[in-house]
Amino acid sequence: MAIEEVEVDGPVYTMEEALTSVGIGKFQYMILSYAGLGSISEAVETMILSVIGPALRSQWSLSPTQESLMTTVVFVGMLIGAFSWGFITDSYGRRKGLFCIAIVTSSCATLSTFSPNYNWLLAVRMVVGFGAGGGPVYGSWFLEFVPSQNRGMWMIIYAGFWTIGTILEALLAMLIMPRLGWRWLLALSSIPSFAALFLFVFTVESPRYMCARGRTRDAYDILKKIAVVNKTQLPPGKLVSSQVSEVHEELLSPGKFRVENLKSGFSSLLMLLSPALRRNTLLIWMVFIGNGFLYYGIILLTSLFSSGQCLHSSIALHMNDDQSLYTNVAINSLAEIPGTLLAAIMVDKVGRKFSTALMFALSFLFLLPLLAPQLPALTTALLFGARTFISGSFVIVNVYCREIYPTSVRSTGIGVATSVGRIGPMISPMVVVQLLRRCHQMAAIICFEAVLVLSAVGVMLFSVETKGRELIDTHVG
């Protein structure tokens, strides 16, 4: 199919040229702050069950399967949510999607605070997971306000808000759980999602999304506001919808596949699996599953060793008190700071593919000694290092996924990838908790190492390096 040609008199400029001209300034900082708030909310709601699980197990006399299920249902909700929100925001706009995500997450997070029993908590937290599953929309929305130069670094800065969320939740658990209990922790943890709802009034629609939908006049108005706030100027001439240029030929081959019209979420999914994108899509899904399994698996390892639930483990970290659990989880959460910083340094200098593969390899090396008995201090250090590199790989893969897809299906692409990736965290509790409870420590670590190898191979098979490439915009009629 041919792309619609736009004939205009006089000079013209594309969305990428417009964003480059207005540059990075106060407007993008405000957009980043709101998107970061959404990421903090997602991180907090995701992390919370790893710290309240032991308390609920004791209070409600839960079995290992019931305890694992509390984490699994959240990721089931996130799987459905990520899949759904991607379609919604590609069909109806980023801004409407952000509003609905904030409503669902904040309201259900509050309801979970008043859970009278296990089944109630299970059901409500699943809906919270559905809302939190829209987290990737915040990143896609922010990305579409950023020019291609140093785009990777800015997306890593955005990913740093997730790290802030995990650390805040761990510190909050240290302060709240021993004194006030899990209900207060759930209540205070809902503050970021409520803040995202109240501050929604200050958000604007993505100009890149509007331009991709053929609404160049509306897109121009937003770009004009950005230029005013940043105290810069738009290029002379008229804004036109970006066309697929030679720089994208490698990505769109074979078949030179083009899309003019996406009339439904189903057609968006078909595009992800088209001959042009199928290989990268399937590899991205595989890597997202692996990364999710590893990231949340390492969090569970720390939690289980610290809470004394693996009594015969040679590497148990617990000190026979609840405070040990919250302290070790907080220390392990700090590992995301160097991971994010390392990703920010490497992503635009080394490239997306090699950086991610290298981080998988380093994580492999840190987990390898845990096959044998280790001292508690060394175990803590090894888990810290493994989480450093897994968190770094996670944020870079998220950048790559958003860059590889056209604007018309970007939210769908990252949404579906995140949704499929939730299979990893759903499996993690079943594998990690069950194996460690039965004292099969070596088998659990071998599972981690195998997933790391498969994930690294998947990354190296990506067909395109997106470092320095302009984002693809396709006109939607």
User: How high is the pLDDT of residue 312?
Assistant: 46
CB within 8 Å of 385: residues ≥ 6 apart: 335, 362, 363, 366
Residue 165: count of CB within 10 angstroms of its CB: 27
Which residue from 162, 71, 73, 55 is spatially nearest to 387, judged by alpha carbons?
Answer: 162
Q: Report the C-alpha gap between 366 and 362 in whole angstroms.
A: 6
3-state secondary structure of 13: strand
Residue 179: count of CB within 10 angstroms of its CB: 8
Buried b (16+ CB within 10 A) or exposed e, 118-139: beebbebbbbbbbbbbbbbbbb
Count of positions (residues) in the chain: 477
Rg (CA), the chain: 22
CB-CB contact of 421 with 288 (8 Å): yes
Q: Which letter does DSSP use for residue 259 in this model?
A: -
Distance set, CA 299 to CA 51, 185, 271, 331 (Å)? 10, 18, 35, 11
Residue 365: count of CB within 10 angstroms of its CB: 14
User: How high is the pLDDT of residue 267?
Assistant: 65
Sign of CA dihedral 270, 128, 176, 181: negative
User: How high is the pLDDT of residue 32?
Assistant: 93
Angle formed at CA 283 by CA 92 and CA 241, multiple of 5 degrees = 40
Q: What are the percentages of helix, strand and coil residues in the chain, rounded to 5?
A: 75, 0, 25
Q: Which letter does DSSP use for residue 238 in this model?
A: E
User: How high is the pLDDT of residue 446?
Assistant: 86
CB within 8 Å of 472: residues ≥ 6 apart: 242, 244, 248, 251, 252, 405, 406, 407
pTM higher than 0.75 for the full model? Answer: no
User: How high is the pLDDT of residue 40?
Assistant: 92
User: How high is the pLDDT of residue 260?
Assistant: 40
Phi, psi of 12 (to 5 degrees): -130, 165
User: How high is the pLDDT of residue 83?
Assistant: 75
Q: Report the C-alpha gap between 357 and 348 in whole angstroms.
A: 15
Q: How far is CA 420 from the centre of its chain?
A: 12
E strand or H helix at 12: strand 12-13
Which residue from 176, 183, 60, 192 is spatially nearest to 113, judged by alpha carbons?
Answer: 183
User: How high is the pLDDT of residue 102?
Assistant: 92
Q: Report the C-alpha gap between 235 and 212 in whole angstroms.
A: 19
One-character DSSP codes across 398-427: HHHHHHHS-GGGHHHHHHHHHHHHTHHHHH
Which pLDDT tens digits describe the chain residue by residue (477 residues)? 333 444 555 688 788 888 888 888 899 999 999 999 999 998 888 778 767 777 787 788 877 777 777 777 887 888 888 778 877 887 888 899 999 999 999 998 888 888 888 888 888 988 998 998 888 889 889 988 988 776 777 878 888 898 888 888 888 888 888 888 889 999 999 899 999 999 998 999 988 888 878 888 888 899 999 999 998 888 888 887 754 433 343 443 333 333 443 444 556 667 777 777 888 889 999 999 999 888 888 877 776 665 555 544 444 444 445 556 666 667 777 888 888 888 888 877 888 888 899 999 999 999 888 887 667 778 778 888 888 999 888 888 888 888 888 776 777 788 788 878 878 877 877 777 667 666 667 777 888 889 999 999 998 998 877 776 766 655 333
Q: Which letter does DSSP use for residue 429 in this model?
A: I
Angle formed at CA 16 by CA 11 and CA 21, multiple of 5 degrees = 70
Amino acid at 105: T
CB-CB contact of 46 with 74 (8 Å): yes
Tokens of 278: 């199928």
CB-CB contact of 41 with 165 (8 Å): yes
Q: Which letter does DSSP use for residue 461 in this model?
A: T
Which residue from 209, 15, 194 is spatially nearest to 96, judged by alpha carbons?
Answer: 209
CB within 8 Å of 321: residues ≥ 6 apart: none
